[in-house]
Chain A
C-alpha cells in the first residue's frame, strides 16, 4: 500500500508518555553475530588444550567445533567436577 496513514492518536499518546525522562530505556538489541541458528562467539584457549582438542577430534572424525560444542553440552547437562567444590551444576 503506497498510502501511509497518519500516526493514530493512541500510538502518539504512547510515544508522548514513554518520552518522559524516567521512562524505562528500550530493550537493547542482543550483541553479536548470528550464523544460521547459532551465535558466533570468540573463545581464547590454551595452545596445549587446543592441541588435545584437535587430537580428540581427529580420533572421532569430528571437527574441532563439534568437539568443543559436545564437551560444553556434556558439561552443562551433567555438571562439572571442580577440585575443592566437588560436583557443580
Chain B
C-alpha cells in the first residue's frame, strides 16, 4: 500500500512536465451571479485552483488534459470538456437543492437522489434558515408530501406531532423514529439547535427504512448535523430578535348582561322542568334566586332585580367593575425571542471541523413560560493515516424552562382552561360588592379575588367559575421549572483497507438529565395552605454500538455496494421523584424547608435491542437500480420465544432518461420510476397514558402498594408471552421527473402500508379485573397518493419565482379487529372493521324540540318516559329521546382529511428573497370539545360561547341550541355529533423576507456574504370557527392547551 502511494507521488511531477496552457473563464449560478471559491480541477489530476470573488479563474493545464471539473459545496459538480479551439470555459453551476444529484441521507449512509430507489423528503438548512424555528421538526410542517403534522402548542420549544403516510398503530406508538447523525436519538428534539442542522430527511418507504428494523414501521426522520468542508474556512454569526403573541384568538364569549340572562333561564327552567314549579312562580324564584346561584352581582341594581321576571336584563344595570373582567390581561404579555449563534468550520485534505455555540431565549406570551437554551457542538473528522479515519461529533445542550401548566385539560392550574371558562361577571381583583371599588389590603394595594372571600363580604364564585382558585395569583406564586442537560456523542473509527472495503465501528451515546421542580404556594391552589414542593429527576442514557463492514466497487457497468454489521442498543431510564409539603419559611422551595414527605419514588427501565444488519445495492450503467436490506432484531420488550424477527426491504429503480431512446426527447431532463416493498416492525408499546412500556409480556405485581408500614403489592398485569411486534408491509411506487430544462420538477407516488399484528390493548371484562392485555390481533392499511410539483414560473437573471406544491391523501381502514372485541369504543371514536381509526362514534344529535326547547337525540328505541315521535322534513317520523342513555350512537364522520399539504412560494429579485409557506387541509371533521364546554345549558359560573345566545326561549323557536337548564348539564351538552365541525383550514404558516447584503459592502468587513432577514410563523389561520385550534390533534379533538404562538423575528447573518 505504502509503495503504491509512494509511486503515485513520484509520478505526479513527471506528468506535470508536459506542455501546458492556460484556461480562463467564469463560474456563475443559474441566475448569473458569480460564484467564488469554486474548485476547478483538471480531471484525473490534482492540478487545480479556485475561483475569485467575481467568479473568474485562470488555470494552467497540461496539454493532455481532457476536461475540467468544477465543484463547490451546495452545488452539483460539473464536468466541462477542454477543446483545442478555445481556452475560455465558463460554466453555470446548479444548486443542489434544486438538483437531482442531491445527496439523500439514508440508514447507515447516503445515496445520490438520482440513484435512490426509495421515497424521502429532505429539507436543508437553507430552506429554514430564515425561519424562527426552535424545534427543528417544525421545519417539516407542510414542506413535503406524506407527512401529516399537528400544530405545535405555543409553549416555547414545542414539537408538532408527526405521522408519516397515515397512522401506523392503535395501541402502540405511531410517531417516526428520530435518528441523529446515524443513530436513534433519545434526547428530545428541542435539544437540537436548528443552526447545527445540515439536513432533515423524512424516509418513507420500506426499502429505505427497513435497516431500522423493529423501530422503523412509522417512518424515520434522519437529522444530519453540519460538518466542516474541505478547503473552505468559514466563521458565521447570526443574531435574531423577535416577538411572540397568541396565534389564535379566543373563542367569542358572551358579555356580563347576556351571561346573567342565560343563567337566569338556566335556573328558571330547572325549577320548571325538574322541580315542577309553575312558570310564573319559577320566574319569580329565578329573579330572586339567580344572584345566589352565581354569587356575584356585578351590576348597580338590587340582587333581586338583575334579571326581570320576563327574563330580560334590568335596563339600568351598569357594571360595577367593567375594567376588571379580563382574566387574560395579566396572564398574557408580548413574548420575545432572541437567538445568537456563532459557528466556524473548515478543513483540509485530511481533516475537517465544525464548531458552534448558540444561545436562544424565548419568553412565551403567557407569563412564567419561558425557555433558555445554550447549545454547543464540535464535529471533527480526520484521516491521519491513509487506512484510518475517525471522527467525533459531540454536542452539549443546557435547557432551562419555566412552563405553563397546561398538562391537564380541565385543571384549575391550566391558564387556558381557567380563563376560557371563567364566567364573564367575575372580577380579577377583590371589589366592594356595593360600590364596585377595588378593595385594598393593609399596604394599600389591590388584591386578587379568589372567589371565596366570604369573610370580606364577597360571595363565593359559582361552582363553574373555579371558586377559591385564582389562576393569575397561582401562576405568579407557583413554580414549574424544568432543566434538561443533554450530551450527545457520536464517534467512529474506520479502517479503510482498500478503496472498496472498509470496516467502521460507531459508538454513540445520548445522555439526558431532566430535572423538574414544581412548587405550589401556601396561599391559593392545590398546595395551599401547607405549600408543597415536588422534584422529579430523570436520567436517560442510551448507547448504540455497531460494527459495519462496507464494500463498494465498480466492475465495468456494474456497480455494487454492500454492507454487513452488528449493532447493540441499550437504553436506560432512571427516575427519582419526591414530594414534600408543609413549607416552613417563605422563599425556599427545597425539601429541607418542608415538614412532611408526601411521596418518594424511584424506578429504572432497561430496554435493549441487538441486531444484525446487511444491505446490498446494485446498479447497471446508472440506469437500473436494485437495493435490498435485511436486518435481524432481538428486542427485550418481547418474550424469549418471539423476541427475534427478520425485517427486510427491497427496491428497484429505472432511470428512463438514460435510455438511448430518450435522447431525442430533449424536454425531459430526468425521468425515473421506482418501487419498493418490505417488512418492518413497530415495538413502540404504550400504556394507557401513552407512556412507553417495556415489560408488557410479563405477569406482574406492582410494588408501591404498602399498607401503612406493611409491604404490599397489587396485581398489575397478566402474562402475555405471545405479544410481539406489529408488523408492517409498505409498498410504494413512484415517478420522479424533471422537465423543460428542469423548470418543472416533481414526484408522484402511490403507497400502500399494510399493517398486521396490530396491537390492541384489550380490556378484559371489567368483572375479571379489567386488566388490559396488549394483543397482536388487528390489521389495518393506509394508502394514498402523494404528489409534489415544483416549478420556476419565472427564471430570469434578476428575478426568479419558484412554486412548490405538495398534496397527499390518506385512506386508513381497519381490516381486522379482535374477534372478542369487534368494536372498541375509545373516547369519541369507535374502531371497527371497514372503518378508519379516527371515525367518530357519537350520539346522534337530532336538534331542539321547538315546542319546549328540549335537547333531542335520535333514540335507540321508543321508551315512553323519555322518547318523542316527531315528524321530519320528509314527512316521515323520527323517534327521538331526551335521555342520553337512550340516545343512539352512530358513525358521524372521520377526523382524517381528504387532502392535506403545503404550498411554498419563493420569489427572488436580485438580493431579495420573499417566501411564504401555506399549509392546508381539506375535509375531515373536528370534535370541538373546547367549544362544547362553552355551550353548556347553564352550569352556574362557566362562560358561554356567543352561540348560546341562539338558545331556545319560547315555543316555536327554531334553533339548534336547547333551552338553558342547569339540571340538564351533562345531558343537553353531552358528547354528540353536535360538536363536530368541518376541519378544513388554511394556515399561512410562515413568511420570510431576506436580503442578501451587497458583496461590495461585505468585502469591506472582510465578509464573504451576509444577509438580513425577517421571519414570521403562524401568520393567520382560517377555519370554520374563530378560536378553534383546528389542527390540535390527529384524532380531531380540541382542548385547553397552550394556544399556538405567532412569532415575528428579524435577524442578520454574516459569513466570514
- Do A and B associate with each other? no
On A, residues with C-beta under 8 Å from B are none
